[in-house]
Structure 1
């Protein structure tokens, strides 16, 4: 895993999208494994082995290990928030929540990232950025929520809608909201971590340190963690660990340490799109009309967020009046062509006399 400077990365666009592709496809791979294992064990498997792989790749690339107490304290905080809390809340929430609603809630974290980035780092969101974030949340809601929920929301009264959401929050949805907030805080924390440690190495260590408590809690509270997992299940876990965690998190936090957090985090909206697409291929899941509209809104939101500065600049150039050249007469459509041509001819009053002083040169001396 040879990471170079951001300006020299080959296939940069592909690498930017890769984490969200792997996260979306990992969700599809994990759907068949969840009934055969336990949530905390599954979360630990996704973190600790992946962290080892990231550190091996970083060592091959010659990246430096963390030095000093400040570096390790930031990494441990990073591991607690984005490792233990995020993966723990996510795994427990998936058990208690439908996959669609869980995906919507976890993929809404770009809103929290945008707010934190604007507050801590002064990132300018702008009206087009906020509009794009709104479209993104609406789009993933249409993708992940059942169609009848969306239609009932549009047709039901306020009282029944509030009652249905209160029932939802009595289950595992609040865990998914905590998972989304944990991921958002972890995305912001990488900026502080990178002041003291290498981004890729810190990512590897935070996955190892964050995975250890998950295995410990699994040993205390859970039983039969791997008894019912078959060969296909272990392959799905391997895909989720290697591609969905090691490579995906390594790339994501590397880019998060360098670029605009709001723009990068907005690409999270692609995760449910990839999950839907490959769910249709491998699990025969059919995309409804409401979901198709949600996909369109999501793609529009990503464009608005990532092009918000360019859009604002173009609109400003259209609305700003251009200075007129007062020295050039304009054509008058109410008069003849000959009279218009006369307007372009210089008049005596428009001619200015510029005095020029000519210095007489001395006559050249003869060589004779």
Structure 2
């Protein structure tokens, strides 16, 4: 049982680790100034590929649930991330976004009846401090709209994580992931065309390689692993793994782009890893779920999350 859980944690951790490579791929392989195009080409082709593989469309309420989850986890999240990235230094955006684990913990208490433990609170604060030391610069400027967008992105993603746990799909994991990627990509498409205009007339082999990586590895594979983790673990355990993303980005910048790492950054990375470990060992998975009302009838007991 412990071995299975460890394997699930490791596989789920691959998703934020892959997302940590997005900055490197974007700066080195993609055309500049087209983040929304990158978001669309990351989500939509990956979703269509999974639909082609599974050959299954949503049924019943999962038409609108897929749209809601696709908007929260991908479409609206990417759009807010785009605004934050353009109006804030990357370190500020990442630091504001690191409040997501605490948001997930709070929403899990409200929507899933899970207890908010002191260990999770300590891990959340430790994670924010770690990310701040890792990526925040002393001369970073603040912009009210940018901060609001970064915080909004953390809120919608946190809501998407918790609702992904609350709503159990009748279809396979690949099909459900495909539905969300298509929904998110379709929501982003008109926004990208309005803000950035049509795609470049010519794309180089490097551009195509970058877009292909973001779509197949960064979306189809990573989101499948992410949603698999949400299904098998508690939302709090999963979302703390997201702290690995800025850590991987910093390490890749050091290795591939010759970006130095100071002592404070190394301390920040250690704190971020500590927060991840605290979240996995803080006892949150053993807390009983509360009894919550269900539309199908009287109050039902929700299965405790492993």
Provide the residue aligned with 2:38 in structure 1: 42
Mapped pair 1:202 → 2:176: yes
Q: Residues of 2 paired with 1:270 and 1:16: CA distance?
A: 11
TM-score by length of 1: 0.70
| 1:1-368 mapped onto 2 (5 Å cutoff) | 11-32=7-28, 36-58=32-54, 65=56, 68-147=59-138, 168-223=142-197, 225-227=199-201, 229-309=203-283
Q: Residues of 2 paired with 1:51 and 1:231: CA distance?
A: 22
Aligned residues: 285
Deviates more, 1:103-112 or 1:173-182: 103-112
**Secondary structure of the equivalent of 1:194?**
coil
**Secondary structure of the equivalent of 2:114?**
coil
**Secondary structure of the equivalent of 1:287?**
coil
Change (3 A) 1:199 1:290: same
How far did 1:58 drift?
Answer: 4.1
RMSD (Å) for aligned C-alpha atoms? 2.7
Provide the residue aligned with 1:155 in structure 2: none
Deviates more, 1:14-23 or 1:103-112: 103-112
Change (3 A) 1:274 1:172: same
Q: Residues of 1 paired with 2:207 and 2:128: CA distance?
A: 32
Q: What's the CA shift string for 1:210-258, capped at 9, x where partnerless?
A: 1113122222332253247533233222222211111111110121122
Q: Residues of 2 paired with 1:50 and 1:307: CA distance?
A: 34
How far did 1:75 drift?
Answer: 1.0
TM-score by length of 2: 0.83
Gaps of 5+ in 1: 1-5, 60-64, 150-166, 313-368
Q: What's the CA shift string for 1:139-186, capped at 9, x where partnerless?
A: 11111211456xxxxxxxxxxxxxxxxx61335232122111111111
Q: What's the CA shift string for 1:120-151, capped at 9, x where partnerless?
A: 112233111211111011111111211456xx
Q: What's the CA shift string for 1:43-74, capped at 9, x where partnerless?
A: 11111012123334545xxxxx3553212121
Provide the residue aligned with 2:301 in structure 1: none
How far did 1:96 drift?
Answer: 2.4
Q: Residues of 2 paired with 1:172 and 1:230: CA distance?
A: 32
Q: What's the CA shift string for 1:83-118, capped at 9, x where partnerless?
A: 221111112322222222222233431111111011
How far did 1:271 drift?
Answer: 0.8
Change (3 A) 1:227 1:145: farther
Greater Rg over alpha carbons, structure: 1
Q: Residues of 1 paired with 2:94 and 2:205: CA distance?
A: 26
Q: Residues of 2 paired with 1:308 and 1:256: CA distance?
A: 17
